Each structure stands twice: as structure tokens, then as C-alpha cells.
Amino acid sequence: MSTSSPTEFHLDESSRLPLYLQLVNCIKTAISEGRLRAGDVLPSERTLVEMLQVARGTVRKALLQLLEEGILLRNQGVGTFIAPHVRQSLPFLESFSEMAAASGGTAQSDLMGYLRRPCSPDERRALQMAEGNDEIVELTRLRKVNGIAVSLQLAILPAHLLDNVGELGESLYRHLEKKGARVLRATQNFSAAMTDAKLAYYLGTDENEPVLLVTRTGFTHNDRPVEHTRTWCLNNYCDFTIELHSKNE
């Protein structure tokens, strides 16, 4: 994590906009312009007060608003830093790596589990696997943006698409494309979930915390399913936007 310089923030006492809102806007602008990135640590309240020559209450009010909006995170012993955000604009089909890059971050996937096993009846249906073709690969990956965990994903795919886990790079979608099974469309379902002990451990949160569960099935040529994933997303870090149109237009 790097620490930003408070000299990046310029406040205008002659403006009719309150100073705390000016500071809020300065930080948001620095994020949108890429001068501040996910994981960057902000200067302490005391440093901001001294460098900007404003009251401590002004700085505190600005940071509190940004914390409430999920733009900042506060970690005891570390400080206040820029929260990662993964944004997906539906109905565009994007990989996690693409979503992280579009948000100004760098994707990272830590492999938590790899298992080659027979599929269950539900998994057979999801992947439309023929009888006698029973083997799947199960991948459990912790997804991060700039080193900060934002989601945990469990993916299953037909075993022949991943002969060796060492073949898998950062992006599962890029790997599938190399295998001639590029994901061309996907169905996606959103539901509410709560963290259990395992999820809480991986995501660094408490048990029984609300998370967003995204269930996706990806299809390649001839409408053949090649991946079925469940992803538990921390609500503060993941945004999904859907554009709606009137039936009359």
C-alpha cells in the first residue's frame, strides 16, 4: 500500500461549497483520475489538518462520509485507505480481470482449492454433461483487487478443459478461450447470503455478515455450458448496474 500526498488536495475557502464537501470531492476526483488507487493509504487526520490548514472536524466529517459511501475503508493498525470496487455493467459479459481493470485496479486470484472429482446430479444438469462423462474440476479462488480480497469464487467445469491446474493463469475465461471454449454468453442470478465460518475466514469478515451471491453459467459455441460458478461478493466492493428500458420504446 502506498500513502497519498495531501498536497494533491486543494480547498478553496472562498467557495460556497463547505470545506468538508470539497475534500470529499477532491478524494473522489483523485480516485477517478487514477491518482489514488485501491489500497492506497490516506494521510492521517492530523496530517490532513496540518497540511490543509482546516479544523479536525472538517477532515473527520469528510472521511466519515466517504467511509459511509464505501469509498474508504478503515483498518485498525493500518489506517484509512481506498476501498477496491469491482463494477459490472450488465448485460456486458466481463471476466473478473476485465472488471477490475475497468475500475482502475489489478486483479489477483489466489487458488484456495483444486479438486478433480465425479460430478453430482445437479452439476451434471448445470453443465449438461452426458452420462459416462462424470469428471469435473472444482476451483476455489479468492479474488482480489490490488491485494484486497473482494470475493470468493467456487467454479466447476468439465475436467477435460483443465488437465493441469498449472495451466490456469489469472483469468479462467482466457484459459477457456485457449481451449477453444470461449464463453460467449452467460446466465447470472443474484441472491442474498450470509457468511459462514469458512467464508468469513477467507474474506476477512465476521460470521453471519450479509454478502451477495452471484451464480453464473457460461456457455460457449453451440450453447454448450463450460463453467458454473458461485461467487460470494463483499457488498462494499462489488457493484452491478442494469440498464432498463420501457416496453413502449
Express each pLDDT in 71-93 by its tens digit. Answer: 888 877 778 888 887 776 666 77
66 and 137 in a single domain? The answer is: no
Would residue 1 count as lying in a domain?
A: no
- The predicted pLDDT at position 247 comes to 77
Q: What is the value of pTM for the model shown?
A: 0.74
- Checking DSSP bridges between strand 148-158 and strand 135-145, what pairing results, if any? antiparallel
Sign of the CA dihedral 40, 95, 177, 161? positive
160 and 232 in a single domain? The answer is: yes
136 and 188 in a single domain? The answer is: yes
- Of 82, 104, 130, the domain-final residue: 82
Would residue 170 count as lying in a domain?
A: yes
Query: Cell 476501498 identifies what position?
Result: 83
127 and 212 in a single domain? The answer is: yes
130 and 201 in a single domain? The answer is: yes
Q: Which residue has the higher pLDDT, 116 or 31?
A: 116
Considering the chain, what percentage of its residues have pLDDT values greater than 90? 53
Strand runs (DSSP E) across 68-184, as ranges?
Answer: 72-75, 79-82, 86-90, 107-118, 135-145, 148-158
Quick one: which of 181, 163, 166, 180 has its CA closest to 218? 181
Cα separation, 36 vs 42, whole angstroms: 9
Domain tally, the chain: 2
- pLDDT beyond 60 at 3: no
Helix (H, G, I), strand (E, B) or coil at 84: coil
CATH of residue 124: 3.40.1410.10
15 and 105 in a single domain? The answer is: no
How does the average pLDDT of the chain come out, rounded? 87
Would residue 231 count as lying in a domain?
A: yes
Would residue 106 count as lying in a domain?
A: yes
Q: Which residues span the domain enclosing 189?
A: 86-242
Would residue 248 count as lying in a domain?
A: no
133 and 72 in a single domain? The answer is: no
32 and 58 in a single domain? The answer is: yes
Q: How many CB atoms lie within 10 A of CB 7?
A: 9
- Checking DSSP bridges between strand 86-90 and strand 238-242, what pairing results, if any? parallel
In this prediction, residues 11-38 reach a mean pLDDT of 88
Q: How confident is the model at residue 164 (pLDDT cuts 50, 70, 90)?
A: confident
List of residues 6+ apart from 176 with CB closer than 8 A: 157, 161, 182, 183, 218, 220, 226, 227
27 and 106 in a single domain? The answer is: no
168 and 141 in a single domain? The answer is: yes
- The predicted pLDDT at position 5 comes to 54
Helices 45-52 and 56-68: crossing angle in degrees, nearest 10, is 130
Q: Which residue has the higher pLDDT, 246 or 152?
A: 152
Would residue 247 count as lying in a domain?
A: no
In this prediction, residues 225-230 reach a mean pLDDT of 96
76 and 98 in a single domain? The answer is: no
Output Rg (C-alpha) for the chain, integer angstroms.
22
- Of 35, 60, 82, the domain-final residue: 82
pLDDT digits (tens, 9 = 90+) for 90-139: 667 777 887 777 777 788 899 999 999 999 999 999 999 988 778 999 99
Helix (H) / strand (E) element for 50: namely: helix 45-52
Q: How confident is the model at residue 4 (pLDDT cuts 50, 70, 90)?
A: low
106 and 78 in a single domain? The answer is: no
Query: Cell 470475493 identifies what position?
Result: 151
Would residue 249 count as lying in a domain?
A: no
Would residue 110 count as lying in a domain?
A: yes
CATH of residue 76: 1.10.10.10
Query: Cell 458454473 identifies what position?
Result: 228
Asked if 209 contacts 200 with a C-beta cutoff of 8 angstroms, the reply is: yes
The grid coordinates listed for 107 are: 486483479
